[in-house]
Structure 1
Amino acid sequence: MRKLFLVVSSLALSLFVFFYMNPAVHAQSFGWGYKKNSDHKVPEIGKYRDMLDKYGAYYADHSGDKVVYLTFDNGYEQGYTDDILDVLKAEDVPATFFVTGHYVKSEPDLVKRMANEGHIIGNHSYHHPDLTILTKDSMKMELEELEKAVAAITDQKQLKYMRPPKGVFNERSLKWANDLGYIHIFWSLAFADWNTKAQKGGQYAFDQIMKQMHPGAIILLHTVSSDNADALSKLIKELKSQGYQFKSLDDLVLKDMLPKAIYGF
């Protein structure tokens, strides 16, 4: 009996050490999501809002201004990024491209073009892991390795914004990113555009975006989508005709910081 007690106690102690001394095991993680609406308003995100506010993260501009922030996730190339950059240049529209290590390594000329044409390069991590299961040191390594890769080929030596792979996050990963000087950027408008085998045409992409459009939207798009490449010019022209302005994430953060600097809150 005493031997059984010792075995059970030892097992319990081992489990305690494993689950409570290893922070990558027991922290709850979340997949980014929001409640869509048909009123063209910023979608609600429920309990996520307090977490984002606590750690200076963004998913939309809540000012009510008719502004749009274009963001693209780039994990690999499908041949459409040049076309997208051509449209952005012709329309004088800024964007942020969240890139991975694979993308920087395989498409350095495109990354250089993004930076040279005034777009922001964002950090999507080097290897695209689930950041919520990493230690803080491993997360730091993922972000710093990507930053160094971008700095080696562009003038953007420091990356300010990050987007977690697959939108997976928790309070700990938000805090750690904040500690490391990064700002999490989620999104308030997206659709299933990443499946290259299920493209439905530029009109489909246009309709999906316009159906969800709202003032202050941070739009997530993927450059692997031929639909997005086909729709982008029409989309930008239509939104401009409706009085929307296209701004960069720097504008969003600056807008948010000014009242705090002036009024102290």
Structure 2
Amino acid sequence: MWKHHILGSMLVAIVVALAFTFAPSNTAYAKTYNWGFTKSKEGKPADAGHELEAVLKEYDAIYKGRPDEKVIYLTFDNGFENGHTESILNTLREENVKATFFLTGHYLKSATDLVKRMIDEGHTIGNHSYGHPNMANLPEEKMIDEWKKFDKLLNELTGVERTYFVRPPEGVFSEKVLEIGNRHGYRHIFWSIAFVDWDKNSQKGWEYAYDELMKQLHPGGIILMHTVAKHNADAMPKFIQEAKKQGYRFGTLDELVTDFTLERKN
């Protein structure tokens, strides 16, 4: 636990220091962006395009890792429990893979036992906001409250002091969201591998999820999946095993942020 505390303190110091480097310069500060990218093909990294790349770079937000190392990062967004997270956790334990789970306040309250299991088994809890609003539409005070209220509840239920990684609901954000997040010690984590998997009423079979993951797989990929989909849980064992066979290693966001920060300094 002390290692996580020290690492967390270091991450906050890095993010806050960077925040004061960036000062809003014009009306683009409040412009709303919807996260998106050109998907990977044949192992070539996903590409968010010049404008989004520039915005993320200015505020040290991340959506993919190094293109020359076969490391990938598994993340899940959990707004509510649909009965499949336990299966995913079982697979991660069996395959010795660590993931980050971006949770909401509702999930913390309604699936506390699963959250505690995530923590006990070495996974990272990310902040997906307390109430899952459009963060770009919120005034600063309410924006901060979304993150802090989540952290307060997380601490009360699990003893975890706070989160360091945040992900905006539905990928909607602005420079204002990124800058304020930095100022309060939060690093924004986006993604470079994703597919339609958030509709609990649309279960397409494990082959669908597996094929999408393998088709988009690329070095440095940050994978976004939703635990409400049974096809994701069912595809997980085969996907992890095949990715390992192809020489990929599953890294953590702590590793990614450390590498990213060192690379920016050099």
Q: What TM-score bracket applies, with the shorter chain setting the length? A: 0.7 to 0.9
Contact between 2:64 and 2:191, CA under 8 Å: does it hold in 1? yes
Question: 2:182, 2:115 → 1: CA distance?
Answer: 25
Say yes or no: does 1:28 pair with 2:50: no
> Bigger CA drift: 155-164 or 117-126?
155-164
Query: CA shift at 1:35, angstroms?
Result: 1.1
SS in 2 for 1:78: coil
What residue number does 2:101 align with? 97
Question: 2:192, 2:56 → 1: CA distance?
Answer: 13
What residue number does 2:73 align with? 69
Say yes or no: does 1:42 pair with 2:45: yes
Question: 1:106, 1:259 → 2: CA distance?
Answer: 40
1:63-111 deviation line (CA, Å, top 9, x unaligned): 4200110000000000000110000001000000000000001111011
Question: 1:126, 1:158 → 2: CA distance?
Answer: 13
Say yes or no: does 1:167 pair with 2:171: yes
Question: 1:37, 1:141 → 2: CA distance?
Answer: 36
Say yes or no: does 1:213 pair with 2:217: yes
What residue number does 1:224 align with? 228
Say yes or no: does 1:248 pair with 2:252: yes
Contact between 2:40 and 2:217, CA under 8 Å: does it hold in 1? no
Aligned partner of 2:221: which letter?
A
Aligned partner of 1:54: which letter?
E
Question: 1:215, 1:63 → 2: CA distance?
Answer: 5
Contact between 1:115 and 1:155, CA under 8 Å: does it hold in 2? no
Contact between 2:78 and 2:104, CA under 8 Å: does it hold in 1? yes
**Identical pairs, percent:** 48
SS in 2 for 1:156: coil
SS in 2 for 1:70: strand
SS in 1 for 2:57: helix
Aligned partner of 1:175: which letter?
E
Question: 1:103, 1:192 → 2: CA distance?
Answer: 21
What residue number does 1:239 align with? 243
Superposed CA RMSD = 1.3
Query: CA shift at 1:259, angstroms?
Result: 4.1
SS in 1 for 2:198: coil
What residue number does 1:200 align with? 204
What residue number does 1:80 align with? 84
Contact between 1:68 and 1:216, CA under 8 Å: does it hold in 2? yes
SS in 1 for 2:157: coil
Say yes or no: does 1:137 pair with 2:138: no
Moved over 4 A (4+): none
- TM score, norm. by length of structure 2: 0.86
SS in 1 for 2:87: helix
SS in 2 for 1:51: helix
Query: CA shift at 1:28, angstroms?
Result: 2.0
Say yes or no: does 1:108 pair with 2:107: no
Query: CA shift at 1:164, angstroms?
Result: 0.2
> Bigger CA drift: 78-87 or 146-155?
146-155
Unmatched tracts of structure 2, length 5 or more? 1-28
